[in-house]
Every structure is written in C-alpha cells, then in structure tokens.
Chains A and B, each alone.
Chain A
Amino acid sequence: DAGITQSPRHKVTETGTPVTLRCHQTENHRYMYWYRQDPGHGLRLIHYSYGVKDTDKGEVSDGYSVSRSKTEDFLLTLESATSSQTSVYFCAISEKTANSPLHFGNGTRLTVT
C-alpha cells in the first residue's frame, strides 16, 4: 500500500466552524489531490497540487482552500463548514503526472451538524 495517512479519520463539527484535514505521504510523489465522495455524485475533485506551493482548483472547489508547504503534506481547509460539506474526503497521490496510477488514502468522514 502507498504510504498515505489521512487525519483525522472521523470528525463531527458544527456549521460555521473552520476545519482542516491533513494528508501525509511518505512516497515523495509530486502530485496530490483532494476528492470528496458522495452518494449519487461519485468522486469529485476539489483541489490538487503539482508541487510545493503549486495548487489548482478542481470541479467543486468553492468553500475549500488548500496548502502545500512541504512535499509530503497537503492540507484541505473548510473555512466555515456547511452541512453540504458533509462527505467522505479522500486524498490521493501520483508519482509523475496524472498519467500515473493514482493511490488513495483511507478517507476522512466529516459530518457537519
């Protein structure tokens, strides 16, 4: 298994509070991604990074921000959580480009009440 650790694994938070999810990799892969998975929508890309301090938006980036200050860490922040952000969040990495196999972490289940 690719060395990807997501934390926390579960979180319950209240509407309007800030939340940060962390993804840590030990593979030294260049590309890192944040997805959310919802019934009826499948997996959707939130943000991705192609290097330290290099990030870009995915298809559902509104309400989310990311940061990557080190190769191994990619943080996803919900500035003010809403109930529509209740989801399972997955971090993924790939070695060279998106044209390499994608490896996923085990996910963070976030509930916003």
Chain B
Amino acid sequence: KQEVTQIPAALSVPEGENLVLNCSFTDSAIYNLQWFRQDPGKGLTSLLLIQSSQREQTSGRLNASLDKSSGRSTLYIAASQPGDSATYLCAVLIQGAQKLVFGQGTRLTINP
C-alpha cells in the first residue's frame, strides 16, 4: 500500500529565507507527483506536477524535484514571503489506478 509522508508537520521561518519541504513515498510505481497549497477554509491549489519521467519542475519561486528511485520529492521555495504561509501537500498518482494518495501536509508559517 502506497504511503506518503511529509516531515515536518509544521515549519516556521522568517521572511526572505529559502526553504525546502519534503515528501517521501513508499512505492516508486507512480505516474506523477503533485504539490498543492491549501489556505485555511479553502480547497487545494495545484502548484506543480512532475511526471514520473521528469526530475524537476519550476514555477516562479517554486521548484519541485523528484527522485523516484529513492521515493522522495522536495519543494524548494525561494525568498519566502508572508503570503506563502499555507499548508503544503504532496500527492502521488499510483500506476494502474485513477487515484492520488496524499500526504498529510506541512503547515508553513512565514514570519514578517
């Protein structure tokens, strides 16, 4: 059974720092990995999708990497801002199933 883990559960950093969020998964048989952000009381917003054949994806200040063989992904946020405060979730799409398995998220707080 695929399990997705995000550590730490919460992270607080001062504004301007570069930071890395971690995601690990137990089964490397995935189609893709997606990163989302969720603001309080809202749904999830898709940030980046990395296909299993890719190593990384970039969007603005965000860069996500994927190492399928080791079951790891990282989300790098450059020059963090208070508006980046949110919960960040990763999810993997299992091969042979139309189903995403989610991690429980990292709650990120950027302090002004």
Contact = CB atoms under 8 A, between A and B. Distances in A.
Interface of B is mostly: strand
Contacts of A100: 49
A98 B44 contact: no
Contacts of A48: 98-99
Interface residues of B, number: 22
Interface residues of A, number: 25
**What are the 9 A-B residue pairs with the smallest beta carbon separation, nearest first?**
A104-B43, A101-B46, A43-B102, A104-B44, A42-B104, A98-B98, A106-B43, A42-B102, A101-B49
B42 A102 contact: no
Interface of A: 4, 31, 40, 42-45, 48, 50, 56, 58-59, 90, 92, 97-107
A27 to B, nearest CB: 13
